[in-house]
Structures are given as structure tokens and as C-alpha cells.
Structure 1
Amino acid sequence: MATKAKSGNAILETVKTIVYALLIAGVFRTLFFQPFWIPSGSMKETLLIGDFLFVNKMAYGYSYASCPSLIVDAEDICGWAKGDNTRIWGGEPERGDVVVFRHPVSGRDYIKRLIGLPGDKVQIKDGQLYLNGTAVKVQDDGVFEEVYAEQGPQRLRPRCENGPVGEGGICEKSRQIETLPNGVSHAILNIGNQASDHTGIYTVPEGHYFFMGDNRDNSSDSRLPQSAGGVGFVPYENLIGRADRIMFSSAGRSMLFFWTWRSDRFFKGVE
């Protein structure tokens, strides 16, 4: 009898340990970090389709958008705070941060680079970014190449600057290094001349931010108003967190297909 009791106690303790571990992991995930899987190519080459990363929620504090959630959506828990454009333990994002935010209209999560701060005047002329009337420094940096094929679970195909290349061909985009006024440098890609390369002047309202994708000609971002399917200006309260590091990256249809993981992207910093 004593042996059976001891065995039962051991099983109970094991179950309790597992439950506690899961609870701690759940709290850690919802309070401090949120997983995010890159679904599209709008941030190439900084982020590729299939990159899996954790978003640092502590970077900017908490709002209705970054409210801890488990089974239900964050807005269902903290929707009462929506609309005041404030945050608890709020921190200011910096120009050049790669940020996950909640779309002001659709409620979907987006990831883009922060380009314009409150009060900034942003314009794109002939494909070049201007901030407050000054051209942002860019330097040609060769060509970004990828295979023309279906990518990710949505089976998206890349757009190519070198025209139709056929299945399995090499798809090319011009690469440049853009250096923002605060010294943050990052790669941007260009495909061709299009409407988003020639814009008016956007004046970023107080308490809002202007975002763009690094894959400039293949990104729906703040250059398009929300009424036209874009992102428009993003309120401070809609920021979820900062992307700091890629954990791993899958080139296949699922992140569970470990044989398709990219060996050069484990724990890669997001710059």
C-alpha cells in the first residue's frame, strides 16, 4: 500500500510541476513577449516569409493592443482602454525600430519599420525618402536575389525587378542601404517605378507614427490611407512591441517543417 501511495504522490507531483511550468510560460508569453510569424514579404530582406520571432512587449509598455491575452483576444479584455491613446509604463519608440502594431481599422497585426515620428513631415520623391525636407542618405548595395517560387503557407510569389523569370528562376531586386537621421541603417529593396515612389507630404499627427516596409515597392503601409486599404497614421496605443531577434526561420509551408528551416537565421538580430 505504501508503495502505491508513494507512486501516486510522485505522479501527482509530476502533473503539478507540468501545470506550474505551463502557467509560468503562459504568463511570460503574455506579459513580456508575443510570438509572431512573418506571413508576407513586405519587410524583405530584413525579415523573410517564415521568420519566427518574439515581440518585446516591454519596450513600449502596455495598451489595449498589447494587453496580455491567453484564450481570448487582447481587445476583448482591455477594449475599455481603447481610444485614449495612452499606455501603462509607456516607452517612446525610436525611429528605425521594427514594430508590430495593430491596424487601426482591421485589427490585424502588422510589422513594419518606424520611419516618421509625431510632427515629422514625410515624403517620397522618385523613390527616395525625405524627412522634414531633407533627403535620407542611401547607398547602392548590389542586388537581392531569391528563387522565383511559392513562399510560405499563402504560397506567395515574389515580385521581380528583372521581369518574369519563370518557375525556379532567380528573382532580383535592387538593394540599397538607407541611413535614418538617428544613425539607424538598414537594407531596402526596390522593384520599379510606381505610384508609391511619388507622394505628397505627410505630416504625422501628435501621438501617431508613420511606418513603411523595407521592401518598398511591395508593402501596404502608411503611404496609403486606411480608407484605401493602407495603414495610414498609427496611434501610439496600437503599438504592440518591438521585434528584436529572429528565433528561427522556415522556408516551407509550415514552421513545423524543421527540414526547411534556414540555418543562417537562428537567433539572428533584427536590424
Structure 2
Amino acid sequence: MNFDFALILVLVTFATGLAWLADKIFFEKPRLQMIAAAEQSAGGVLPEEVKEKIEALPWWADFSKSMFPVLAIVLIVRSFVIEPFQIPSGSMLPTLKIGDFILVNKFHYGLRLPVVNTKFVSLNSPERGDVVVFKFPKDTKVNYIKRVVGVPGDVITYKDKMIYVNGEVQIQTLLAKLPPRSPETMLYREQLGAAEHEIYTDIYAPNLSGEWTVPEGKYFVMGDNRDNSNDSRFWGFVPDELLVGKAFAVWMHWPELFSIPDLTAIRSIK
């Protein structure tokens, strides 16, 4: 079952804020009046323990008062600044490993309202080579991470496991054959526009080919594990409105629940 965490966070933040506000408007004044009446009846200042008992908030108001500021800060940071994600698959190997915990810049491509994802401030546009998180066009409850290969107006050709952008081949430099004695995977350094990164190709995987013209407002994305990635070659383009943000760092590697988190895996994402 997929839970919409953003929606749950918005609803809980709204509920606690509303409860706190309701207490301030409807219940705080009667409490103060009760203290004043008790002091007048006692002919002076009430003992501190009696005053604290009268001033005590109901459990729901106390909980809301404590949690609302925390939830509001989390909501703001997660919606507009940085959001963490965990890598669930090997489609971005060797750049990102299964179990990597990454940080995503939520404001790099503009500010969007939480849940509805409507952009209200435009900033940068995705560039070739950017590693982006986006909502999967076929199921927007699922987040995907891939590398931007084509921007609006580009003609992308994929042939013999090479990328051509507007007819220009993107250079690949062989780094290693893995494993060396009986290779199955080729490790390349690829130049994609101004971005340089590493990719895998599978020696025994079939050669796919195709050509795509990227429409306005959409992007063509691919995984760095080229023969093991479900990407734009199979399901099409990523609309701008489904972009979540730009991935910029790995802050931890934790592949299994009962394994030890590896904080030495901290690195920037290229």
C-alpha cells in the first residue's frame, strides 16, 4: 500500500494548528477568568499548585501546542527546502546504490505547493546531466530517480548503447570490464553535455534503438544502469509538473534493516 506522506503531514499539521487556535480563542479566556474568580474568592493570590491545576490545558490542546510548531517546520523544510529519499533499486548504478539515502533540493527547479505540486515560483530548469526525482507518470504515488538526457526541443537518439543529442554523439570512455576475467558489465565514463558521470552497460543485453523529440514542458530521462532501467525509452517523457527536485548528495548507505548504517558513504551526486 502506498501512503501519501505529504498529504498526511499537511493534514496532521493543519489539525494540530486548528486545535491550538481553537483553544486560544474559545478556552484560554475562560481559564483566565476562572483563575481571577478563584483569587477573588480566596481573597488573594492562589497557591501555585492550585493555579497550575486550573491553567492546565486539556490533553488535546497541550499535544497540539507542542506538536504544531515542530510539524510546521518539518512541513516547510520538506516541501520547500530539502527532502530525503532512499534508493530502492539498481537502475542508477554505479552512481547510486540500493540502500543509499539521498538529499533532494526541492527549490532548485522552483517552489511548489505540497500535495498538489503546483509551481508558484519558477527558478531553474533541468539541464542535461541533472539527477532528478520525479513522480512516475504512470503512477504519481511512486517516486522515480533518473538522469536528464533530453530537455525540451532536443532530438534524442539511442543506438548501439550510445546517446546522440541533436545528432551529436555523447562520448563514452571505457574504464573497466567487470569482472575482469569474465566480463559481463562495462563501466564507462560518459560526457552528457557539461556533465560527466559513470554508467553501466550489460554485454549480453540486446541493443535497443529509438529516436524521440522532447516536447515543450517535458524531459527525457534515463538510468545510469542503461540495460537495467525502466525509463523514458519505455514509457515516455516526464512532465515538468511531476518534478520533485534535484538530487545533490548521498548522506548515508543502509541497505538492510538489520545492517549497520554506513555514514562514510557521504558524497555529492554527479
TM-score when scaled to structure 1?
0.70
1:95 aligned to which of 106, 109, 128: 128
1:181 shift after superposition: 2.2
Alignment of 1:28-47 (within 5 A): 28-47=77-96
In structure 1, the residue matched to 2:30 is none
Which of 161, 168, 181 in structure 1 is aligned with 2:193? 181
2:103 to 38, 54, 59: 54
1:245 corresponds to which letter in structure 2? A
Counterpart of 2:145 in structure 1 is 111
Select the residue among 147, 151, 167 that pairs with 1:133.
Answer: 167
Separation in 2 of the partners of 1:45 and 1:9?
59
Would you say the 8 A contact 2:80–2:111 is kept in 1?
no
Q: What is residue 73 of structure 2 aligned with on the other side?
A: 24
Among the aligned pairs, what percent are the same residue?
Answer: 37
Aligned 8 A contact 1:138 1:176 in 2: yes
Name 1:150's counterpart in structure 2: none
Partner of residue 227, structure 2 = 217
Alignment of 1:257-268 (within 5 A): 257=258, 259-266=259-266, 268=267
Match of 1:245 among 233, 249, 253: 249
Give the Cα separation in 1 of the matches to 2:66 and 2:166.
56
Give the counterpart of 2:212 among 196, 199, 202. Answer: 202
Greater helix proportion: 2
**Residue type matched to 1:177 in 2?**
R
- Root-mean-square deviation (Å): 2.9
Give the match for residue 234 of structure 1.
Answer: 238
| Change in 2 beyond 3 A, CA 1:236/1:22 | closer
Partner secondary structure for residue 132 of structure 2: strand
Q: Residues 127 and 193 of structure 1 are in contact (CA less than 8 Å); yes or no, is this contact kept in structure 2?
A: no
Whichever of the two has the greater Rg, that structure is 2
Distance across 1 between alignment mates of 2:221 and 2:54: 57
Amino acid of the residue matched to residue 185 of structure 1? Answer: E
SS in 1 for 2:139: coil
- For 1:214-255, what per-residue CA distance to the aligned partner results, in whole angstroms no more than 9, with x for missing partners? 00010010111x3xxxxx111111111000111211121x3x
Answer yes or no: is the 8 Å Cα contact 1:187–1:214 preserved in 2. yes
Equivalent position of 1:270 in the other structure: 269
Letter in 2 for 1:52: F
Indicate yes or no: 2:2 matched with 1:2: no
Aligned AA for 1:88? F
The 1-side partners of 2:108 and 2:54 are apart by: 45
CA distance in 1, matches of 2:73, 2:54: 24
Number of residue pairs matched? 218
Structure 2: unaligned runs, 5 residues or longer: 1-46
Q: Deviations over 1:186-236 (max 9, x none)?
A: 0000112434x3312211112111000000010010111x3xxxxx11111
Structure 1's 62 and 193: CA in aligned 2 closer, same or farther, altered over 3 A? Answer: farther
Opposite residue 58 of structure 1, the aligned amino acid is F
The 5-angstrom pairing of residues 135-150 of structure 1 reads 135-143=169-177
Deviation at 1:61, TM superposition (A): 1.2
Q: Report Cα offsets for 1:162-192 as digits up to 9, x if no partner.
A: 58xxxxxxxx63210001122x100000112
Moved over 3 A (4+): 3-12, 14-19
1:117-140 per-position Cα deviation (integer Å, ceiling 9, x unaligned):
111111122111111111111111
Instruction: Give 1:260 shift.
Output: 2.6
Whole-angstrom CA distance in 2 between matches of 1:40 and 1:175? 18
